[in-house]
Amino acid sequence: MKKTPFRIRPAKKSDRASLALIYQACFSPPPYSEKWSLPAAQKRISQLLAQPDTQGWVVSVFNQPVGFAFLQAREGFSGAYGELMEAAIHPYFRKQGIGSALFKAVRVYQKRKKLKVVYTVAYRGMFEEFYKRTGFKPSKHSMVYVWK
């Protein structure tokens, strides 16, 4: 498969509309149980863009955003750490190395900011192998509990 030429840059407020469309396309189909409306997706992206302690990256193809990642840096009792709040590549652009390159940009930021650890919460199955391939490891220290 031929790789698509892409560019990674910092997220900006003017990306809101494009990122909301990507968010809606990525987080509405299974395995997710909700169907995101465009206004709800716009609100979520606006929240991420407005947080001062959150760094965002946008992947663009021919200046059109096709993916993003948002990481929130926090201070813990044993030092600074990061939470990967949201990450997504539009379904049409997956399996071309774009997500791996995006996570490399996040790793560079982690090292530059001296974040001891970066963690995220991800569904089992569909993206589990992708996270493992890009260097994430399942935590031995915590579990996710859910009320239904």
Q: Would you say residue 1 lies in a domain? A: no
Q: Domain residues for 129?
A: 7-133
- Quick one: residue 81, left, alpha or beta (phi over 0 = left, psi -120 to 50 = alpha)? beta
Q: DSSP class of residue 3?
A: P
What's the structural domain count of the chain?
1
133-143 confidence digits (pLDDT tens) = 888 888 887 77
Residue 67 located in a structural domain: yes
Distances (CA, A) of 33 to 15, 122, 127, 131, 144: 26, 14, 16, 21, 17
Residue 146 located in a structural domain: no
Task: Identify whether 60 is part of a domain.
Answer: yes
The answer to whether 82 and 118 have CB atoms below 8 angstroms apart is: yes
What CATH number did the domain enclosing 40 receive? Answer: 3.40.630.30
Q: Is the pLDDT of residue 36 over 80?
A: yes
Least confident of 51-55, 61-65, 138-142: 138-142
- pLDDT at position 141 is 79
* Segment 91-102, tens digit of pLDDT: 999 999 999 999
* This prediction's pTM: 0.88
Q: Which residue has the higher pLDDT, 32 or 62?
A: 62
Task: Say if 78 falls within a structural domain.
Answer: yes
- Residue 30: inside a domain: yes
